[in-house]
Structure 1
Amino acid sequence: MRILPLLLLPPLLLSLSPPAPDLTLLQSGSDCRGLTTPGSARPLTLSAVARIGYGFATFLGGPSPSVSVGLDPRLSGPALARSFASGVVAAGGSVTFVGLSTTPAMFTELPAHDGSVMVTASHLPPAWNGLKFFAARSGAGLDAGEMSRVLSLAPAEPPALPPSFSLPPARSILPRYAALLSRTVRSLLPPSPLPLSGLSLALNAGHGAGGFVAAALAALGAEVHGLHLEPDGEFPAHPANPEHPEAVRSTAAAVLGQGADLGIIFDTDVDRAGFVSSGGEPLNRNRLVALAAAIALRGSPGCAVVTDSVTSNGVRRFIEGRGGEHVRFRKGYKNVIDEAARIDGLNGRACELAIETSGHAAFRSNGWLDDGAHLACLVVAEVKRGGIEGLLEGLEEPAESQEVRLNAGGMEETRGAMRRAERRIRDAVESRGAWTVEPVNHEGVRVAVDEGGGRKGWFLVRESLHEPLVAVMVESDVAGGGGEIARDLLELVFAGEAGDLDLGPLEDLAKVNA
């Protein structure tokens, strides 16, 4: 496993540079993310992380808050974990270090600890890293407001500790977590010493933290063909991202080459998963939402399913056709989870699933924890019971679907471009009968497009959650319709924006079938 000793880390990679004047530059919704390379606009330095550790311990409160710390395989992880721990200790807290872990596994450290933190930047490139937080008093991950509170409690200067300060020896929690996954699978299948006997799986961990799941499934009787199971902080094969084309391609090749029944793809910290069918077809994005919804609706008939804002019209019809209620909400895994938890039980409604199109899936029955390994257990059990093809029966998929991202240069420029885009979209709706603003918009503007013959496409223009980008999602039920929608957007919404936005990706889409 490629996690370098602290003394071998390049000195410029994680220098004790002057503390960032504004830690809010690192906030990314409910967690923190930044670059570990010097001179970046979002510098995640050792000093900054020590300050955040102090703020988190202060946020937890009490005379000596206990915090569990884990990390993914990134090369910067050990030094960042040590600095975070130093901040916790300086604030009067204590630290348990669990070494290599997953974000969902860190949740299981509650309530034995007052809080836990995972040092990870999920699927982002190796130079990125970050922090994800859990608090025992809420039994959940921090929300954006709580994250802001942690940063506001951080001191202006990094806390002083002896240079000899070090992390305690690692106490791995992955064996315990693997046992939990085993119990989940056994609970879903008839009693048997080897309930997955006869099942062939291909599991791609992408050199992230999820390689241990292969052994857990093999211990249940499955034949597991592993891809990139060894943790490696440089991610040499491909990004550990279930949506990355190379991750999907290599997993599909393994499924077809081995005659496997299912392919599983994890992201770096295993809070997301994607799948590949026995025929080599990707089961991600809309297909994954539909698959998880079908599982939820069978266990909780008539329940609500909360998704993010970019799910297709076909997903809505699929959920409603199976007797469920589809609730679209804002992008961001914490946003959809919080909304699902809020509406569950409200006015007699039941909600069983919160899922983001990127693959974050949280079930009420699993404590609203977004856990790629748990989702994998559910899907593997379905395959063992007889297959998943029937679960996706009736899903209508768009003829075309594409998202492009338009660089605005900075966050303030992004907000200005969005304000102009929203105004122009609403002006265009007034003069263009084919466009109708969707009645519910939790972020940006989603517009239904009448494509004739009862076919309906749509587009959504919104601000990116984490970067200075305007994201444009386009779906069409007509071949070539995506390009036509893009051309209309360039003419009616983004005309004159070339000096403020990089319109190249949208212009490329507009050229399709022009």
Structure 2
Amino acid sequence: MALTRAAVLENSADLGIVFDTDVDRSGVVDNEGNPINGDKLIALMSAIVLREHPETNIVTDARTSMALTRFITARGGHHCLYRVGYRNVIDKGVQLNKDGVETHLMMETSGHGALKENYFLDDGAYMVVKIIIEMVRMKLDGSEEGIGSLIKDLEEPLEFIELRMNIISEPKHAKARGTEVIETFRKFIEEGKLEGWELDACGDCWVSEGCLVDLIDDPAAIDAHMYRAKVSNKEHGQFGWVHIRQSIHNPNIAVNMQSSLLGGCQTMTRVLRDKFILASGVDNVLDISQIEKYGKIGKVN
């Protein structure tokens, strides 16, 4: 991304394009050299898709920001939070369309994404073509602004962090231990042991049975347990969220956090440590050194 940004600025280009090696993930750089990936790329594609398909559903993984939800709903769309994992996100869109719920965009913060019009293929090149077409349309309409102007009102979270907790167990028992930890997290929240923490919800989809799933008769199988909790206090209302999930491939648990308050992620980390990890005793099966360090000094490295 840095090389592409430098090339855009050096050549006064309208757009820079970045792909991964097999072109199923993409990102872009606008004419001012601003990288557009993660939430910003989802917002850009949402703006384009919602102009073509007003009120459509947009499926993302549950690590996206509260600001992205506001961005989508302000344009008349519906934001469906779903499980981490690009196949989960795309398959969710396929299922919604089968159920008669119009869903034209499915996208993960990693840059993976698919469109209904492109047969739900995980295709980074097709995403970029849509962006180029929109950029040309803007120029033909007489706009002198770059593609980044479409997301200029997207707020960025003040803080975000990802922490990892390795599971201390024989490899053959690691998945079961991880599931126990995450289900204990759910139980603690449901019992009100973490004040101001509430399992997050999204329309007809909510956090149940270990992941964000539909209230339908045949929910998709759970590949890794995960929950997202929204965090509030009396002074500021909801100011952040915590997403905790099993890694599918490695014996660890990932903890993602976002906050709209300065110091919010560190505060949530301390609550997670004191009111859940230590209070429940799950620290016996977890290496919480990253949690400890971030809770004390506000950084990992």
Common topology (TM > 0.5): yes
Kept in 2, the 8 Å contact 1:455–1:478? The answer is no
For the residue of structure 1 that corresponds to 2:55, the secondary structure is coil
Query: Per-residue CA shift, 1:268-317, capped at 9, x if unaligned?
Result: 11100012222222211111111111111111111111111211111111
- Aligned-pair RMSD on alpha carbons? 2.2
Kept in 2, the 8 Å contact 1:413–1:500? The answer is no
Indicate how the Cα distance of structure 1 residues 506 and 411 shifts in structure 2: closer, same or farther if over 3 A, else same.
farther
Kept in 2, the 8 Å contact 1:303–1:351? The answer is yes
Partner of 1:426: 187
Query: Per-residue CA shift, 1:397-442, capped at 9, x if unaligned?
Result: 2111122222226363243134234314532551333111113122
- Structure 2: distance between partners of 1:313 and 1:300: 22
Partner of 2:153: 394
Of 157, 162, 173, the match for 1:403: 162
Kept in 2, the 8 Å contact 1:446–1:458? The answer is yes
- Structure 1: distance between partners of 2:66 and 2:103: 20
Shift of 1:384: 3.0
What are the equivalent positions in structure 2 for 1:41-52 lying under 5 Å apart? none
Are residues 1:346 and 2:129 paired? no
Letter in 2 for 1:453: H
Of 232, 254, 261, the match for 1:450: 232
Partner of 2:257: 474
Are residues 1:258 and 2:3 paired? no
- Structure 2: distance between partners of 1:288 and 1:484: 29
Are residues 1:463 and 2:246 paired? yes
Percent identical among aligned pairs is 37
Kept in 2, the 8 Å contact 1:421–1:494? The answer is no
Indicate how the Cα distance of structure 1 residues 259 and 499 shifts in structure 2: closer, same or farther if over 3 A, else same.
farther
Indicate how the Cα distance of structure 1 residues 498 and 255 shifts in structure 2: closer, same or farther if over 3 A, else same.
farther
Aligned residues: 266
Structure ranking higher on relative contact order (CA contacts 8 Å, 6+ apart): 2
Choose between structure 1 and 2: higher helix proportion. Answer: 2
Q: Which moved more, 1:320-329 or 1:445-454?
A: 445-454
Choose between structure 1 and 2: higher strand proportion. Answer: 2
Report which of the two structures shows the higher radius of gyration computed on alpha carbons: 1
- Structure 2: distance between partners of 1:369 and 1:346: 19
For the residue of structure 2 that corresponds to 1:459, the secondary structure is strand
Are residues 1:359 and 2:144 paired? no
Partner of 1:373: 125
Query: Per-residue CA shift, 1:65-88, capped at 9, x if unaligned?
Result: xxxxxxxxxxxxxxxxxxxxxxxx
Kept in 2, the 8 Å contact 1:337–1:368? The answer is yes
TM-score normalised to structure 2 length: 0.80
Partner of 1:284: 37
Kept in 1, the 8 Å contact 2:194–2:276? The answer is no
TM-score normalised to structure 1 length: 0.49
- Structure 2: distance between partners of 1:345 and 1:498: 43
Runs (5+) with no aligned partner, structure 1: 1-247
Of 402, 415, 440, the match for 2:176: 415
- Structure 2: distance between partners of 1:257 and 1:508: 41
